[in-house]
Chains A and B, each alone.
Chain A
């Protein structure tokens, strides 16, 4: 039985599943069933160094750059919808390959063209993030986001961070306005629409 965290909760992945090297970060949500513009949610990863910022624009893994230069982080794309375990999007991380100067991988989900289409996280339900041992298929930890969001258009679901030689996962569940652009600004990506 995998662990469930609540908002702000922390676990050591290395201790919970010793020998864990390759993980899959699965993300899921239920989009609104109502009519109108599609609520298109996109998962991204920011590979953040000690400064709290990315080292370069290449450390931003998203729908237009699915793989990090070192190959440690791979976004599997949009094609995993609803299959079996219910991940809508997933990111594979090879922890052993992750560069030593990357302190954490921040996983965000943002709503595409949210403002233009009048969309926000108040319209999203059943959101979760989970970490799976990608070699055994065993779920290590899961965090179900509370269904209490409002006008946020960007959401940090969780992060995997390196601390004193072990890998940890933290449940974040913090929302922001401004969509993916705001997330880019927050982590030092020089983005334009």
Chain B
């Protein structure tokens, strides 16, 4: 067994490697593997293998928890543009690695020891597995950040919500193991997809009989807030994003469908739009759903879909909200709300309008101070009073 001191590297033989991380006792330590691309950053959630998401890249990188957590990396199956995989460890509970014992790593024939005596880092880059001239190598990095997770995350381009902006937020205890945060489900296979953008604002959906079936509208957000807690940081003050709709029928009747005011609507009767439950915490990872009865589309004139921040700071960029419209037998339509840093709490996302029996979907992404402003801007003419759920 070769011993690699900090800074040293050695080739990895074979198509896969198991990395056993021997952690010192005395504190909770969370380990994470990050897939890093050219430029030194991750690309998204899917690049992070940790206790809340122990399997990434279709199982090319997996984490098995235990007293000594183990990463199994199938090097041949790691995405081709991944430049390196860094293995990190973060101490919870306000401690530093210097207060604990050494960290050591076994990777096949290589043994890596990271002496930590007298050191003040809270987050460590333990090792990196990197590609060099087409072959994989492992390096004992053994360096870290006094500023802990926040600095580590910044270094690798992991975006986490950091409300207080302090350089060294003390990490809170991780969520109890019995209730790990549910990772977002893997995306289902999508053959086609329409992204409505500032330049491509509309799409028309046609169906000969004018019956569109069950149209489902999803609002999802909160990924970064989840990520933050996954990393063992405190969750930001509850951010509650609500999905709602203004509905106008062909007879001129208008209705509001939203959780606020308990106006959940109805799928089978007017307004043929109904809101399913209300995700107050974001813990339900697939967000909020509206259903529109597409078989009754002939009686609907227009539906304005909006999202509003019921609780929490209005920062749409951080909220990272996405509305997706699923119409049976039609491409999925996606509208992202993350491109503006508007400080207004309400966002008109998209409008579905009846044009000769077809559905015209138009991206709005306009921000308003509240229902009244939005109402006025689009000429709906509701009367408004404040309400609570």
Q: Which residues on A are within 8 Å of B, measured CB to CB? A: 32-36, 118-123, 146-151
> Contact partner of B8 among A35, A36, A118, A122, CB < 8 A?
A122
Q: Which residues of A lie under 8 Å from residue B147 when comparing CB positions?
A: 35
Q: Which residues of B lie under 8 Å from residue A146 when comparing CB positions?
A: 132
CB distance from A118 to the nearest CB of B (A): 6
- B5 contacts the other chain (CB 8 A): yes
Known interface pairs A148-B132, A148-B137; A35-B144 also in contact (CB < 8 Å): yes
Known interface pairs A120-B7, A150-B9, A151-B8; A34-B137 also in contact (CB < 8 Å): no
Q: Which residues on B are within 8 Å of A, measured CB to CB? A: 4-9, 119-121, 125, 132, 137, 139-141, 143-147, 151, 155
In whole angstroms, how far apart are the Cα atoms of A109 and B132 in the complex?
Answer: 23
In whole angstroms, how far apart are the Cα atoms of A153 and B360 in the complex?
Answer: 66
In whole angstroms, how far apart are the Cα atoms of A168 and B120 in the complex?
Answer: 47
Q: Which residues of A lie under 8 Å from residue B155 when comparing CB positions?
A: 33-34
Known interface pairs A35-B121, A36-B121; A151-B143 also in contact (CB < 8 Å): no
List 6 A-B residue pairs with CB atoms under 8 Å apart, sorted by A's residue number: A34-B145, A36-B119, A122-B140, A146-B132, A147-B132, A150-B4
CB distance from B360 to the nearest CB of A (A): 50
CB distance from A114 to the nearest CB of B (A): 10
Q: Which residues of A lie under 8 Å from residue B8 when comparing CB positions?
A: 120, 122, 150-151
Inter-subunit contact A34/B120 (CB<8 Å): no
> Contact partner of B9 among A34, A119, A122, CB < 8 A?
A122
Inter-subunit contact A122/B7 (CB<8 Å): yes
Q: Which residues of A lie under 8 Å from residue B139 when comparing CB positions?
A: 122, 150
In whole angstroms, how far apart are the Cα atoms of A122 and B139 in the complex?
Answer: 8
Inter-subunit contact B7/A35 (CB<8 Å): no
Q: Which residues of A lie under 8 Å from residue B9 when comparing CB positions?
A: 122, 148, 150
Q: Which residues of B lie under 8 Å from residue A148 when comparing CB positions?
A: 9, 132, 137
Inter-subunit contact B5/A35 (CB<8 Å): no
In whole angstroms, how far apart are the Cα atoms of A189 and B354 in the complex?
Answer: 87
Q: Which residues of B lie under 8 Å from residue A151 when comparing CB positions?
A: 5-8
